[in-house]
Amino acid sequence: MKKIINNPSNVIQDMVKGMTLANDGQWVQVENTNVIRRKELSQGKVGLVSGGGSGHEPAHAGYVGKGMLDAAVVGEVFTSPTPDQIFEAIKAVDQGKGVLLIVKNYTGDVLNFEMAGELAEAEGIRVEQVIVNDDIAVKDSDFTIGRRGIAGTVFVHKAAGAKAEQGASLDEVKAAAEKTIEQVRSMGMALTSCTVPDAGKPSFHLDEDEMEIGIGIHGEAGTERKKIASAKEIADELTSNIIEDAGLAAGDEVAVMINGMGSTPEMELFIVNGHVNDMLKEKQISVHQTYVGEYMTSLEMAGFSITLLKVDEELKQLLAEPSEAIAFKEDI
């Protein structure tokens, strides 16, 4: 296993320490937890918490900042954070207007966030939860009942974050998050596996000429394992699947995210973007905004996902609001 780490059992502790020292003190670690919080919360707004297993960096700590999340709970690698950690995050961001939890659809995450919400409600904090399930690849998976939550989650952070920053109520912020979830679809593929530090060996194996379509961000099985195709063929397959699933039609407008899984050169992501754009043009679907980079990774897995978010005036306006989150800065 080739990794730049110390003890494989301490990677989270070491990472969280390094995080809090980065980015000019924009992040603070909530004492005795693996919760990364905004140093300064905006006064009197609804709190926003997300998180999950680590190994998906910059998700979710990279989205902690003014205009997006207030806190991210950092679990062990590919492992849901515990309810007590999530509860600490809720307490650390509640200002009396309630807290929204944005959860990717994995059974462990959903249960633990739910349990943390109940603990908080018992202490008089109002908590609501939304479940992101943007991955159209498979109906159920090893870790999920229903569709998995992947890179589309970042758009949910952005829309809900902007709404909360505007001073909206918990119900309004939740509605913005749910609308985004309703409109966002993703699908991914991989060329290689990744290695969880504590496991010490690759999670799965793909031959030198193989790829897997529809793979999850923890290497969960996808829809098909086959010979590597060209960038155009892969992009066309994923994009047309998403367009069909989302029921996108001529005249619709979308935000596009081409997300690298960890070790895919940006060069390849840009090549994919060209092909996605071609297909959207052909279908007369217009592109409002395009994001190309690493937003939701799987350690050092090679591969990418495509996310399309159907936007209307409200979502366009929420995407355009300023964000100071290090991994998703929007100009003020």
* Dist. CA 304–CA 276, nearest whole Å: 13
To the nearest whole angstrom, how small is the minimum distance from the Cβ of residue 134 to a second copy? 20
Q: Is residue 22 a contact point for a second copy (CB under 8 A)? A: yes
Strand 253-260: give its sheet, edge to edge.
224-227, 210-213, 184-190, 303-310, 253-260, 286-293
* Dist. CA 312–CA 85, nearest whole Å: 36
Burial class (CB in 10 A: 0-12, 13-18, 19+), 320: middle
Binder among 193, 297, 305, 307 for a second copy (CB under 8 A): 297
Known catalytic membership, residue 205: no
Binder among 45, 291, 306, 308 for a second copy (CB under 8 A): 291
CB closer to a second copy, 6 vs 169: 6
To the nearest whole angstrom, how small is the minimum distance from the Cβ of residue 323 to a second copy? 10
DSSP assigned state of 300: T
Q: Which of 60, 157, 205, 218 is catalytic?
A: 218
Q: Which of 56, 60, 157, 275 is catalytic?
A: 56
Q: Is residue 259 a contact point for a second copy (CB under 8 A)? A: no
* Dist. CA 72–CA 90, nearest whole Å: 10
Residues 102-141, one symbol each (x = binds a second copy by CB under 8 A, - = not), give ----------------------------------------
* Dist. CA 162–CA 146, nearest whole Å: 28
Q: 207: Cβ–Cβ under 8 A, 6 or more apart, which residues? A: none
Binder among 204, 231, 279, 283 for a second copy (CB under 8 A): 231
Q: Is residue 274 a contact point for a second copy (CB under 8 A)? A: yes
Instruction: Please give the structure tokens belonging to residue 196.
Output: 């969880």
Closest CA to 107 of 68, 52, 156: 52
Binder among 112, 133, 192, 305 for a second copy (CB under 8 A): 192
Binder among 277, 279, 317, 321 for a second copy (CB under 8 A): 277
Known catalytic membership, residue 288: no
Cβ atoms of residues 325 and 62 within 8 Å: yes
Q: Which residues have a catalytic role annotated?
A: 56, 218
Interaction site with a second copy (CB under 8 A): 2-6, 11, 14-19, 21-24, 54-55, 57-58, 62, 77, 191-192, 208, 211, 228, 230-232, 234, 258, 262-275, 277, 287, 289-292, 294, 297, 299-300, 302-304, 324, 329, 331-332
